Amino acid sequence: MYRVVILLLFTNLFFMLHSTGNISKYINQKYSFLSYSMIYVLFFLTIVEGIRWYIASKKDETDHQHNCDCHHDHQHHHEHGEGKEKKFTKKKFKKILGYTFVLIPAISGVVLPVATLDSQLVDAKGFSFPTLEDGNDKYGTHQVLNPDMSKFMNQGDFQDLVHKESKSYVGKNNITLSDKDFLVGLEVIYNFPGTFAGKTITLKGFSYNGPGLQPNQLFLLRFGIIHCVADSGAFGMMIQFPNNIHIPNDQWYQVTGTMDTVFYQPMKMKIPVLKVTSYKIIPKPNDPYVYRNSLN
């Protein structure tokens, strides 16, 4: 019976994630068909396990009736039954405890609200690029600003990918990074910053007052998901206003400006900077995340 309940709850969890659209906060939508198919798989397994439980319960009823009709020595039955009952209770307790741990994510995933990643998580995870000293440690760092696909493929394939994707941008003087190509465009810009110097770029994201900024600088970021939330990062670029300005974290803007590069001391490297020519406040998008929709 416990297995039936667990399977039913996990079926409901996947169904709720898809029906509410919250599945997009956990995985890249190009993989959504995999999680969607789990609804049918889990529902099928629930039916199979329900049938098995029904057959087993009927068999137990038959065995119990048969045992009641048999004659046993009363004292022997009492002593044997007491030891068996103690052993059964201990086994049952372990089973219930194990099932409880499995039930927690199935229930909490439906009951608890899904939190949207924001600047607080950027602060919590830290805001830095890997330095030259630890740059070979691909698995000890998280991604910031540049959605670096080289962490997910060999260097040769990565170079081929970036050069192929750059063809859609290098010939343009005015580039708008939409939700669809936000991560692709950013990666091209970070890999060929000199090529885009002086060009006009438009992007949108939430404000983040990172460490070591000048009074007229801040970062404009989007949380991006490459495969799933485990490899998500805060991607975007530094923006620089003509005058000093104070903008709180997590305010959404659309910004247009001219591309340049600047040495950013906390990261000890040159990074792209967008020198703002115009900007406006925008409402937070229905889906604040962006995804890596192309790998070829």
Model pLDDT for residues 68-127, shown as the tens digit of each residue: 555 444 444 444 555 555 556 777 777 777 777 777 877 877 776 666 666 777 776 656
Give tens-digit pLDDT for 16-62: 877 777 776 777 677 677 777 888 888 888 888 888 888 887 776 66
Burial of residue 58 (CB within 10 Å: 0-12, 13-18, 19+) is: exposed
What pLDDT is recorded for position 136?
47
What pLDDT is recorded for position 132?
32
Domains of the chain listed by start with CATH number: 2-111 (no CATH), 119-291 (2.40.50.140)
Spell out the alpha helix ranges (H) of 70-181.
74-111, 119-125, 155-166
Give tens-digit pLDDT for 247-290: 999 999 999 999 999 999 888 889 999 999 999 999 999 888 89
pTM: 0.68
What pLDDT is recorded for position 104?
82
Q: How far is Cα 26 from Cα 36, in angstroms, rounded to an integer?
A: 13
Is 227:28 a contact under the CB 8 Å cutoff? yes
Residue 241 has pLDDT above 80, yes or no: yes
Q: How far is Cα 38 from Cα 40, in angstroms, rounded to an integer?
A: 5
